[in-house]
């Protein structure tokens, strides 16, 4: 028996307590590196009131989602028609929504890291491939079995 794909309903369901809903999304094309964002504004009856789409300069999905939410917020704040309306912005990126709503539990750590990086001109955080990180991967796994911290110097 072949597995069947479940179709996702694209019906309009208004949110209770909101007059208007922006649904936002981003799209990335694999090899071309092209990224675009867009949103749709509907009222409680599902009538289209506004839509936009544009290309953006990022290759990270979560950044694209944050950009579309940002552009939508700018649009809302610049449109008198939307000034006193109850509006919901809906995104399918749980990470972006969590970061924006302050649910990133380590935001203070990120701020501290950035402050330290800015204060030291000879310090940087860079990316390395997983294969080049095997020793530290082993140390991280070993840390799960420790009570307390492990710090060793060999100078």
- Domain with residue 92: its CATH number is 3.30.420.10
Distance of CA 49 to the CA centre of its chain: 25
CB atoms within 10 A of CB 139: 10
Domain boundaries, position 101 = 20-105
pLDDT of residue 155: 46
Question: pLDDT > 70: what percent of the chain?
Answer: 61
pTM over the 0.85 mark: no
Tell whether 132 is covered by a domain: no
**Pairwise CA distance, residues 142 & 93, whole Å:** 33
Tell whether 93 is covered by a domain: yes
Tell whether 114 is covered by a domain: no
Tell whether 60 is covered by a domain: yes
Instruction: Classify burial at 52, counting beta carbons within 10 Å of its beta carbon; exposed 0-12, middle 13-18, buried 19 or more.
Output: middle
- Mean local confidence (pLDDT), 113-128: 72
Tell whether 39 is covered by a domain: yes
pLDDT of residue 8: 46
- Mean local confidence (pLDDT), 17-37: 81
Tell whether 144 is covered by a domain: no
Q: State how many domains the chain has.
A: 1
Tell whether 127 is covered by a domain: no
pLDDT in tens, 52-71: 888 888 888 888 888 888 88
**Pairwise CA distance, residues 141 & 40, whole Å:** 45
Phi-psi region of 70 (alpha: psi -120 to 50; beta: other; left: phi over 0): alpha
Tell whether 73 is covered by a domain: yes
């Amino acid at each position: 028996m072949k597995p069947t794909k479940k179709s996702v309903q694209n019906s309009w369901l208004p949110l209770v307590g909101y007059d208007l809903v922006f649904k936002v999304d981003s799209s990335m094309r694999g090899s071309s590196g092209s990224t675009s964002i867009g949103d749709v504004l509907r009222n409680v009856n599902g009538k289209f009131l506004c839509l936009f789409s544009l290309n953006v300069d990022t290759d990270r999905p979560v950044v694209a989602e944050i950009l579309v939410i940002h552009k939508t917020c700018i649009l809302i704040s610049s449109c008198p028609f939307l000034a006193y309306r109850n509006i919901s912005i809906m995104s399918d990126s749980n990470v972006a929504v969590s970061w924006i709503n302050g649910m990133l539990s380590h935001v203070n750590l990120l701020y501290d890291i950035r402050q330290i990086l800015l204060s030291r001109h000879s310090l940087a955080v860079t990316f390395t491939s997983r294969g080049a990180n095997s020793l530290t991967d082993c140390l991280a796994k070993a840390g799960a079995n420790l009570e307390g911290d492990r710090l060793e110097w060999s100078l």
